Amino acid sequence: MTTASANRLTPYLFLAPALIVLAVALLYPICYMIYASFLDWNPSQRIGEADWVGLRNYANLLGDGAFRESLWVTIKFAAIVVTAEMVLGVGLALLLDRNIRGMSVLRTLFILPMMIAPIVVGLMWRYMYHPTVGIFNRTLDNLGLPTVPWLSDGNWAFASIIIADIWQWTPFIFILSLAALQSLPQSAIEASKIDGASGWQTILYIKLPLMAPVLIVTCLLRLIDAFKVLEVILVLTNGGPGLSTEILSLRIARTASEFRELGVAAAMSNFLLILLMVLTIAMYLYNKAAEMRAARIRAAAEETS
């Protein structure tokens, strides 16, 4: 081998370990799952023994009322929590983006919920939602107000899991928004003050538009996470009452463990994966196109000036 070709290969040599880990840890399970989704497979069989059923699992999904219900619950859940968390998180960041005494302590406190294990969050909220000894109903009772069936009524249970999720994940949006805010070009904000913008106008016309790229990515990350949420809801309601809080990942878990249909569960997972992939790729392509356009025009401008 010549020195030149050895030199060319060096980077790939160094990248190889990471590539192998990635292939084993990421690609293998995904391929395995895609393959499994074409099988009629129950956990007592080895994968080789399962029958090949082609696209039947996918076709059945569309006709499955329970699956459609849980897809709808998931979309509703994701839309509501992500919207609420974005509004609250960005709002808090705008409020706390200033240098006052004790702010760093406050910021740390704000992100605590995110650091608690989801199972613990679920348990904690289950105790708080408890119909008789939970803090919410006790407080309502003490104030002489009617108590609320937090987890035993379908609509309330849906609201309850939303509240818990907002509590846990607003900090995520808060810290990313705060970081985005603090890295904004200060002089542009100062220029807007000189141009006569009020505080609100600065937020509306300068800060938010400039934060948009970060906010879009943050929103996407949260959306992906919200579509996959499991533990907190598992502990809080286990999908009930009825199917009122049965989000997709819970449905997938039950299909695999309770109904023992690994092929169907794999098909559901793939469906979710494709849904999120389409979202991500569309976003990526949009960003890439915008960047390339800007770079091209700038290059032209530098040449002619």
Which residues of this chain interact with other proteins, rule CB under 8 A? 185, 187-188, 190-198, 201, 205-206, 209-210, 212, 294, 297-298, 301-302, 304-305
Query: CB of 191: closest distance to other proteins in angstroms?
Result: 4
Query: CB of 92: closest distance to other proteins in angstroms?
Result: 23
Q: Given the complex with other proteins, which of 198 and 238 has the nearer CB atom?
A: 198
Query: CB of 204: closest distance to other proteins in angstroms?
Result: 11
* Nearest one of 209, 175, 215, 213 to 192, comparing CA atoms: 209
Burial degree of 99 (CB within 10 A; 0-12, 13-18, 19+): exposed
Q: Given the complex with other proteins, which of 36 and 90 has the nearer CB atom?
A: 90
Query: CB of 293: closest distance to other proteins in angstroms?
Result: 8
Q: Given the complex with other proteins, which of 214 and 273 has the nearer CB atom?
A: 214
Q: Given the complex with other proteins, which of 238 and 287 has the nearer CB atom?
A: 287
Alpha-carbon span 231 to 119, nearest angstrom: 6
Q: How far apart are the first and last CA of the chain?
A: 48
Q: Given the complex with other proteins, which of 123 and 197 has the nearer CB atom?
A: 197
Q: Given the complex with other proteins, which of 206 and 219 has the nearer CB atom?
A: 206
Q: Please report the DSSP string for 57-105 in residue order.
A: HHHHHHH-HHHHHHHHHHHHHHHHHHHHHHHHHHHHHHHH-S--TTHHH
Query: CB of 176: closest distance to other proteins in angstroms?
Result: 19
Q: Given the complex with other proteins, which of 185 and 242 has the nearer CB atom?
A: 185
Query: CB of 217: closest distance to other proteins in angstroms?
Result: 16
* Nearest one of 100, 83, 125 to 233, comparing CA atoms: 125
Query: CB of 31: closest distance to other proteins in angstroms?
Result: 41
Alpha-carbon span 254 to 261, nearest angstrom: 9
